Amino acid sequence: MRFAFIGGIYSNYWALRATLDDISRRGVDGVWFLGDLGAFGPHPDRIPELLIERGMPGIQGNYEESLSSRAEDCHCGYTDPRDSHYAQISYDYTFANTSDAHKDWMGTLPREIRFQAGGKRFLLVHGSPRRINEFLWRSTSPDPFLERLCVESEADVIVCTHTGLHWHRPLPGGRHVVNAGVIGRPANDGRTNVWFAVVEVNGGAVTAEFVPVEYDHRRLAGEMQKERLPGEFIETVLTGWWTTCLEVLPPKERAAGRF
Amino acid sequence: MTEAPLVSLASLDTLWFQVSGTLCNIACTHCFISCSPQNHSHEMMTLADVEERLDEARAIGVREYYFTGGEPFMNRDMIAILEKTLRQGPATVLTNGMLLPPAVCRKLKELFDASDYSLDIRISIDGFDRASHDAIRGPGVWDRVMTGIANLVAAGLNPVITVTTAAEGVETSEGRMRFLELMRTFGIDKPRLKVLSLFRIGAEEKRSRAYADWERLSSDMLETGDAGSLQCASGRMVTSRGVYVCPILIEEEGARMGDRLADAQRPFPLRYGACHTCWVDGVTCTT
């Protein structure tokens, strides 16, 4: 059984289209989105429209929680004023350009989804099983900690997003944590593609594949320019390097980027 | 006087080690535990002491480890302790930056590269220049810290610079910008800054003033926010004398919770002036 997971979409419509095309070409047994449909990108209403049209199941991210409750900020979980500054610009734009009907629909999404496949208990969450905006980075999520999250949440495979960077950790006890990454912006590696995850369960073995998706990033950048979104956001789309929301990165992940 | 509100340990995510005890090569006038070359209140910890708690922490599923003092690099086992810690989780060292010769920095970079988990070095600076910094930390300290930062940067590490609110204006966005610019002049191209509150205990009590009676928390005050965000809800501190509730209150006998992590799981009453600062300022000692 193979499942596809789409992390933060961040209003990246063209990446979502390319991702859905890729997923339908490879054929999987299920597809879910993991929240944060908006942020960074232009015309946020296009994302729920497409997801509703396709009837795709998924969960709330902190963005959907904030938008549906008409909160004043994204509750992204940043602590540095530089991160919060850009996060606010992003949220204010998304809030102003998301219809009430879509905001209400976001409020109907579950905060987690559980299912069983191949004898494994899957748990889909946005940040972590315990907090919608907890950052599970590879370099600050040690095995004993992840093991504890799995045990406490009664899951064999946890799939999450929220950080923007994808990784998979098979744990010594046979459990797995997969951060699906995001299709909303590149992975801070100097490449313009984005990533989604395919998790396969086969005879009790769990494997994860991260799939790079090329999309028309110049078209997205042009739309962002027309919407007068910050030049820093556009630069990230065009170069593959994060320019904002960087202070939250742990040292290892920060060292891997340009800024 | 109403009873102090209790905070439960929701999850032990962050474990601190007072790895050099209260021993420091300098004696800052704002130190909340009055560390100095003569303060043996808490002693230097050995590798074996740390290992014992690391074993316990692994079983509990602790997420991250912090090392402070005193000055951690006065501990001869510091590199070995980091090597051991990084096998089971991310580590951060809080240092005054004075004991970072090139060889130590190169070794730290080796550890950084070899580990799957992050190693972070945090250096404390006070004020925007030599005069303000040395007024708090002692004559000649600024120059040695600058050498330490330069050595770290030359080795390829990017330290977090922390500054206390003793540096006037650092909390304003203009002050932060000024500080970030200053950090670029140190050769740091991805400046990372953390601003820390002062606690009116230890040496700082004499430098400014003690907590007033009204600076205490009540249960009503906690109803307006998320008590789970307090660091005593997700962390504990280990010293040579046992396990304490947090990195700030290690000179309070009432904050000692037991010998082992297993003894330190019970709720803690927020009865101290420092608890007021943590709540009101939203302090977290983590990065």
Supply the pLDDT for residue A140: 98
Mean residue pLDDT across chain B: 94
Give the gap in angstroms from C-alpha B192 to the nearest C-alpha of chain A: 7
Contact residues, chain A, for B116 at CB < 8 Å: 138-139
Give the position of tokens 């977290």. B284
Whole-complex ipTM: 0.95
CATH class of A2-256: alpha beta
Per-residue pLDDT reduced to its tens digit, A42-75: 999 999 999 999 999 999 999 999 999 999 999 9
pLDDT over threshold 70, residue B202: yes
Per-residue pLDDT reduced to its tens digit, B131-187: 999 999 999 999 999 999 999 999 999 999 999 888 888 888 888 899 899 899 988
pLDDT over threshold 60, residue B1: no
Q: Please state, in angstroms and rounded to a whole number, the distance separating the CA atoms of residues B251 and B40.
A: 12
pLDDT over threshold 90, residue B28: yes
| A173 part of contact set with chain B, CB < 8 Å | no
Per-residue pLDDT reduced to its tens digit, A205-238: 999 999 999 999 999 999 999 999 999 999 999 9
Residue B123 parent element (H or E)? strand B119-125
Give the position of tokens 């799957």. B116
Quick one: what percent of chain B has pLDDT higher than 90? 83
Contacts of A160 (CB under 8 A, 6+ apart): A34, A124, A125, A126, A127, A128, A136, A177, A178, A179, A180
Decide: helix, strand or coil at residue A84. helix
pLDDT over threshold 90, residue B225: no
Contact residues, chain B, for A149 at CB < 8 Å: 61
Task: Please give, one letter per residue, the 3-state secondary structure of A126-185.
Answer: CCCCCCCCCCCCHHHCCHHHHHHHHHHCCCCEEEECCCCCCEEEECCCCCEEEECCCCCC
pLDDT over threshold 70, residue B79: yes
pLDDT over threshold 70, residue B85: yes
pLDDT over threshold 80, residue B2: no
B6-281 falls under which CATH superfamily? Aldolase class I (3.20.20.70)
Q: CB–CB of B63 and A140 under 8 A?
A: yes
Ramachandran assignment for A18, one of left (phi > 0), alpha (psi -120 to 50 degrees), beta (any other): alpha
- Domain limits of chain B? 6-281
Name the A residues in 188-217 with CB < 8 Å from any B CB.
none
Q: Name the residue in chain B with its Cα closest to that of A259.
A: B190
Answer with the residue of higher pLDDT: B127 or A120: A120
Contact residues, chain B, for A255 at CB < 8 Å: 112, 158
pLDDT over threshold 70, residue A246: yes
B-side interface with A, Cβ within 8 Å?
Answer: 11, 13, 57-64, 88-90, 112, 116-120, 158, 173, 176, 190, 192-193, 284
Per-residue pLDDT reduced to its tens digit, B226-249: 888 999 999 999 999 999 999 999
